[in-house]
Amino acid sequence: MPSLLLAAFPPELAGLAAAPPAGWVARTAGVGAVAAAVATARLVAELRPERVLFVGTCGAYDERLGVGAHLSAAEAVAVSSEELAGRAYRPEVERTRWPATSSLPLPAFPVAVPPAITVAVESARALAAIAPVEHLELTGVFAACHAAAVPVAGALAVANRVGPGAHAEWRANHERVSRALVEALAAAGVFG
């Protein structure tokens, strides 16, 4: 059985879409948790992978992690600043946390997965109480893998600080930090 290497879109695969490591299949899952969940579920059913590794970029809420830092997702947490401010809530039965079920040789942190990119500084401060970084797809990928009982891990590289200038900073850094992350994973023997 192959292992499945996923990213939201091709640049985050850093060239591995065209030439994945031996024993791996590289695909994209789309942007956002819903698109990622659907694509991951479809790919897991189709390919029946031994494991899934999602790679991508994320935004840091505070100074715990700087641009270029690499991390492993200890868990993916569905959360919003509206919930934290008491202006929204989820039904008690809704699942909001999915732990990684496969380990990586990177520092592990929880990852917040809000429904949209955070731009307000006060929202970033609130979300920092949940996790040091945010990412848009990880809950979808982790939920689909949990449902199929397929081991899953997430490796992320910080591309920007969350806030009003995040998009410009992400555009300037995402390809570079994606390449560095894939190189670090390869050097650590993650791809076998």
Q: What is the DSSP string of 34-55?
A: HHHHHHHHHHHHHH--S-EEEE
What mean pLDDT do residues 49-74 have?
Answer: 98
Q: In sequence order, what are the residues at sequence separation of 6 or more whose Cβ sits closer than 8 angstroms to the Cβ of residue 163?
A: 118, 119, 120, 121, 124
pLDDT tens-place string over residues 98-120: 999 999 999 999 999 999 999 99
What mean pLDDT do residues 67-72 have?
Answer: 98
- Of residues 99, 176, 177, the one with CA closest to residue 141: 99
Q: In sequence order, what are the residues at sequence separation of 6 or more whose Cβ sits closer than 8 angstroms to the Cβ of residue 39?
A: 6, 27, 28, 29, 30
pLDDT tens-place string over residues 8-37: 999 999 999 999 999 999 999 999 999 999
Residue 130 pLDDT grade (very low, low, confident, very high; cuts 50, 70, 90): very high
pTM (2 d.p.): 0.96
Q: According to the model, what pLDDT value does residue 15 have? A: 93
54 within 8 A of 35, measured Cβ to Cβ: no
pLDDT averaged over the chain?
Answer: 97
Q: According to the model, what pLDDT value does residue 4 have? A: 98
Burial class (CB in 10 A: 0-12, 13-18, 19+), 142: buried
What mean pLDDT do residues 168-177 have?
Answer: 97
What is the Cα 56 distance to its own chain's centre?
Answer: 6
Residue 129 pLDDT grade (very low, low, confident, very high; cuts 50, 70, 90): very high
Q: Is a pLDDT exceeding 90 seen at residue 1?
A: no
What does the domain layout of the chain look like in residue ranges? Answer: 3-187
- The fold of the 3-187 domain, in CATH, is Rossmann fold (3.40.50)
Q: With the CA atoms of 77, 12, 184 and 135 taken in that order, what torsion angle do they form, in degrees rounded to the nearest 10?
A: -20
- C-alpha span between 43 and 105 (Å, rounded): 25
Q: Is a pLDDT exceeding 90 seen at residue 140?
A: yes
Indicate the pairing of strand 3-7 with strand 108-113: unpaired
Q: According to the model, what pLDDT value does residue 157 have? A: 98
Q: Is a pLDDT exceeding 90 seen at residue 55?
A: yes
